[in-house]
Amino acid sequence: METGLRWLAGNGWRYEEKMDGRFHVEELPHATVVGELMRDGRFFAFDALCYNGQDLRSLPLCERLTVLDSMNLPRPASGSGGAFLASVLAAGGEGVVAKRLDAPWGVPFYKCKRTQVFYCRVTGLDHSTGGVMLADRDTLQPRGKMPLRGGKFEQVQLGSLLKVEAFGLTARGLLREARPDHDTPGSWLLSI
């Protein structure tokens, strides 16, 4: 794992655990913070946008984190680089987010997340969007919808077996951010 993040290593980056919640803006009496709202209602803050009426979004992340730390809110676990990513994944976590400490709010960051391979049957075709409905190949439990682009939609039919890559399953058992496997150009389509 270390080699995959070596280019981001150094004092200019902040690594936090990517949790399995949804993005949420929390309005507090004197602050607006953003973070992840977990299914069980817990909130983990990862950035401060406003404090005591002052807009913090133009400040570097390191200064916004100092303000956030003063609020004593629950925070995602943090660490450094590839070793931290390896420990998060080993504990069953979703992954890690790497953010530049000198960046203002809104600057893109990097997500390093675990992917899994699923074998799915096509159970429906949506010709209007070029998407396919998927189900587990053995149990036929629904796994959600996946777009197929670049001529791939025309290669499948009902019952086709696909090798799909996703960031695990949601709480409802659906594939998270599903896409065709890309080990090799044709590895995604196993049978028509």
* Fold exhibited by the domain 116-191: OB fold (Dihydrolipoamide Acetyltransferase, E2P) (2.40.50)
pLDDT at position 167, please?
84
How do residues 96-114 score in pLDDT, each as one tens digit?
Answer: 888 999 999 999 888 888 7
Burial (CB < 10 A; 0-12, 13-18, 19+), residue 180, is buried
| Beta carbons within 8 Å of 160's beta carbon, 6+ residues apart | 121, 122, 189, 191, 192
pTM: 0.66
pLDDT at position 15, please?
86
C-alpha closest to that of 14 among 47, 36, 38: 47
pLDDT at position 10, please?
57
The percent of residues above 90 in pLDDT, for the chain, comes to: 57
Q: Judge: domain 2-113, CATH 3.30.470.30.
A: yes
pLDDT tier at 2 (50, 70, 90 boundaries)?
very low
In the sheet that holds 54-55, the strands lie side by side as: 22-27, 31-37, 43-51, 54-55
Instruction: Indicate the domain borders of the chain.
Output: 2-113, 116-191
pLDDT at position 153, please?
94
Alpha-carbon distance of 96 to 91, in angstroms, equals 12
